A and B are shown apart, each in its own frame.
Chain A
Amino acid sequence: MSDLLKIFLKSMLVDNVILVQYLALCPFIGMTSDTGKATGMGIATTFVIILATAVTYPLYYCILVPLQLQFLQTLIFILVIAALVQLVEFYLKKSAPALYSAMGVYLALITTNCAVLAVTLNCIGKNYNYVESLVYALGSAGGFLLSMVIMSGVRERLEVAPVPAFLKGKPILFIAAGFLSLSFLGFSGLIK
């Protein structure tokens, strides 16, 4: 039990996908202009990450390993992720059209979101068992959601902050992202 908690906290805080591993920076900058959008994107990506891990892990160990086709993992994983993203797209189009149109192209871009592929590949690379993989996926996805929400909060404050003219817009955003990343470095060494 404590092992699982360790994996969860480590993947969420110490190895945060965005702020420590620098993956999935595209939605981090593109989708954080307001908290609602960022939360929607975070939840959609969370869903895809967890489902992708749940599907790719048995696929790898039950089909690819017995046939000695481990080299196919990237291809097959991408295939599964693309299908899952499409699924989320269908679902959102039906049940949350407003969110669907707000997310626009970024929704389809979850397909090429490196955080999703990284989590599924890491589960294999770290030799986790099935439960550990799911917890790792949950933690990583939670970390993604957490940093998206924090960043959107920071951005909403930046809108009204007295920022020097030459730093307005993207420059101050990158500086803020840097500080956020630095603050997450404080978690390193928290879990041995």
Chain B
Amino acid sequence: MQIIISTVIVSFVVAFVLGVLLGVFQKIFAVKVDERVVKIREVLPGINCGGCGFPGCDGFAEACVKDGVPAKGCVAGGAKVKEAIAQIMASNNA
């Protein structure tokens, strides 16, 4: 019984410490991302289907902003997503 408890405690403590450390380092090494990328990523379906030809939704959001890939590229999202992306791109360019 004791070994089960110590197993759980040790695993938890190690995982917790590493998690906190990672959180801290993420703040230290934070990279400034274009906020449009974050916004577009939020409106995308987030299923990483790869239908657009980019590696996942993150890849598509970045390509949208950086390389001007058309909003209709997101096959799974359909008209609704296209509209939302267009709005985000328009609002920040103006």
Give A residues with C-beta under 8 Å from B: 59, 63-64, 67-69, 72, 75-76, 79-80, 83, 86-87, 90-91, 93-94, 97, 104-105
Contacts and interface: CB of A to CB of B under 8 A. Distances in A.
Interface of B: 3, 6-7, 10-11, 14-15, 18-19, 21-22, 25-26, 28-31, 55
Q: Give chain A's interface secondary structure class.
A: helix
B21 A69 contact: no
Given A79-B18, A93-B29, A64 B10 contact: yes
A103 to B, nearest CB: 13
Contact of A94 (B10, B14, B22, B29): B29
Given A76-B11, A87-B22, 9 more contacts: A59-B14, A75-B11, A79-B18, A80-B18, A83-B19, A90-B26, A91-B25, A94-B31, A104-B55
A104 B22 CA distance: 20
Q: Give chain B's interface secondary structure class.
A: helix
A63 to B, nearest CB: 6
Contacts of B26: 90
